[in-house]
Amino acid sequence: MPRRAPPDRPAAESPAAGGDLLAAGGEGRAGTGGFATGAADDDAPLAERLRPRSLDEVIGQSHLLGPGKPLRVAFESGRPHSMIFWGPPGVGKTTLARLMADAFDAQFIAISAVLGGVKEIREAVSAAQLARERGLRTILFVDEVHRFNKAQQDAFLPHVESGLFTFIGATTENPSFEVNGALLSRARVYVLEPLSVDELATLFERAVAREAQRRSAIGFDAAARERLVGWADGDARRLLNAIEIVADAARAAGRDTVDGAFLEDALSQNLRRFDKGGEAFYDQISALHKSVRGSDPDAALYWLARMIDGGADPRYLARRIVRMANEDIGLADPRALALALDAAEVYERLGSPEGELALAQAIVYLACAAKSNAVYVAWNRARAFVQQHGSAPVPMHLRNAPTRLMKGLGYGKGYRYAHDEAGGYAAGERYFPEGVEAARFYEPVERGLETKIREKLAWLRARDAGATEGEPRD
């Protein structure tokens, strides 16, 4: 059920139903409206106590909130508009929605698409109608909006169009694929970024200082701080929850300082096995990649299991598996890339633990597949070549000529249509710009499908040289 403010207090004080807790920390201001602070706030989680009370307290998202930037302008305009916040967990999607309700003196209603449905949507509409009768605006915040089906998302449309409420959706998924086009066309999409290491470090200092005001001060040495910031991996809520857990554990143990060893014990085995952004994490992903490249499926499975057991995000591993298929298998076995992409999609559909089997299957296939980095090498060569030679003009015979004027200027003149040539190949035709010497970037290896590609390219080059032989079999 949507939560809404009772008539006897400012509407924007309503708490959000779930979602990102914060992207920053700020000192609370008792009795100022916004988000309630004070004595009752002492029992709230650290993440809630440090939720920003104004835009100036927000850490991160400077590309949206800096002077003259889109969201800052939206806040200062006095005219709210429907929007969708797209970004990973813990970057401030819910916080920004609540700050917007404060900025526009609006009633704040939050719905979680994970827990809610049509009933909650109807209740939110009724609450917005009552608020309008009292002359109040309404901000309707829908967390995880991509989890609503098409019919549920469509239910918002008439009310967005009528201006009954300002719609703000939050999603961790690409709204182009997960949000209905009709709703998407009525909302502006703002992309929120993970917090940087420096931003997390700033938040860390605020959090430790705030904890010291509430209870006995707990210090963190440089190693513990660095590991916690790396472990948070851009997620402010994750960092603050960890600080609170570790600080409570230190107090219980009678300690006033947290070092790396105590940190590992306090945060259990996940942090002990590796920390995101830390050396051990990258050592393990390196071991996984090199086991695949070295065609050892058993070692590859071992490192995959180690990383998943240690708390690695399987979506990150899926992205790395796709990269392995491109970088180390390439055209020696093009099925590898398709299998890697399928595995990533299966994980998105099934999640853990079921989807992990698809990642394991892809890892085994890639480890056993024929290997080639020829395309990877060719692409790097081509990029370096382009940087060296600059922007040479396209030759006239390769230019498109959609108008009579362009044809009159010679666009497309002399172009040889390959399908009309013997063997479907215009031998001797030149495709590099004038004045740029033709380069050879791609050299297929003699493994897998690239053996056939190598034979075909050799035959084409022989035709260019005038030494024609029988065309190799495809």
Q: Which domains does the chain have, with CATH numbers?
A: 11-191 (3.40.50.300), 197-273 (1.10.8.60), 287-368 (1.20.272.10), 388-464 (1.10.3710)
Token output for 79: 């005219």
Q: For residue 258, list its beta bridge partners.
A: 220
The CA radius of gyration of the chain, in Å to the nearest whole number, is 29
Report which secondary-structure segment, H or E, holds 381. helix 374-389
Predicted pLDDT of residue 60: 93
Crossing angle for the helix pair 356-368 and 297-309, to the nearest 10 degrees? 150
Report which secondary-structure segment, H or E, holds 130. helix 118-133
Check if the beta carbon of residue 25 is closer than 8 Å to that of residue 52: yes
Token output for 282: 């990258």
Tokens 């390196």 correspond to 286
Predicted pLDDT of residue 182: 87
Tally of CA atoms within 13 A in the half-sphere of 249 that contains its CB: 17
The CA-to-CA distance between both ends of the chain, in Å, stands at 62
Our CA dihedral for 347, 353, 357, 363, rounded to 10 degrees, sits at: 70
Predicted pLDDT of residue 61: 94
Instruction: Name the residue among 348, 226, 210, 218 with its Cα closest to residue 280.
Output: 226
Residues 363 and 454: their CA atoms lie apart, in Å, by 27
Residues in the chain: 474
Tokens 């929605």 correspond to 97
Predicted pLDDT of residue 89: 87
Token output for 259: 């070092």
List, for the chain, all residue ranges whose pLDDT scores fall below the cut of 70: 1-43, 268-280, 467-474
DSSP letter at 393? P
Predicted pLDDT of residue 147: 86
Residues 139 and 149: their CA atoms lie apart, in Å, by 21
Report which secondary-structure segment, H or E, holds 177. helix 175-178
Check if the beta carbon of residue 141 is closer than 8 Å to that of residue 11: no
Helix %, strand %, coil % of the chain (to 5)? 55, 5, 40
E strands present in 211-263? 219-220, 257-258
Q: Is the dihedral of CA 328, 331, 336, 337 positive or negative?
A: positive
Q: For residue 171, list its beta bridge partners.
A: 86
Instruction: Name the residue among 150, 146, 75 with its Cα closest to residue 106.
Output: 75
Question: How many C-beta neighbours within 10 Å does residue 443 have?
Answer: 13
For residue 202, what are the contacts with CB-CB under 8 A and spacing of at least 6?
59
Predicted pLDDT of residue 193: 92
Q: Is 61 left (phi over 0), alpha (psi -120 to 50) or beta?
A: left
Cα dist. 262→9, 227, 249 in Å?
A: 44, 12, 9
Predicted pLDDT of residue 423: 85
Instruction: Name the residue among 163, 156, 148 with its Cα closest to residue 182.
Output: 156
pTM summary value:
0.54
Residues 61 and 38: their CA atoms lie apart, in Å, by 27
Check if the beta carbon of residue 146 is closer than 8 Å to that of residue 175: yes
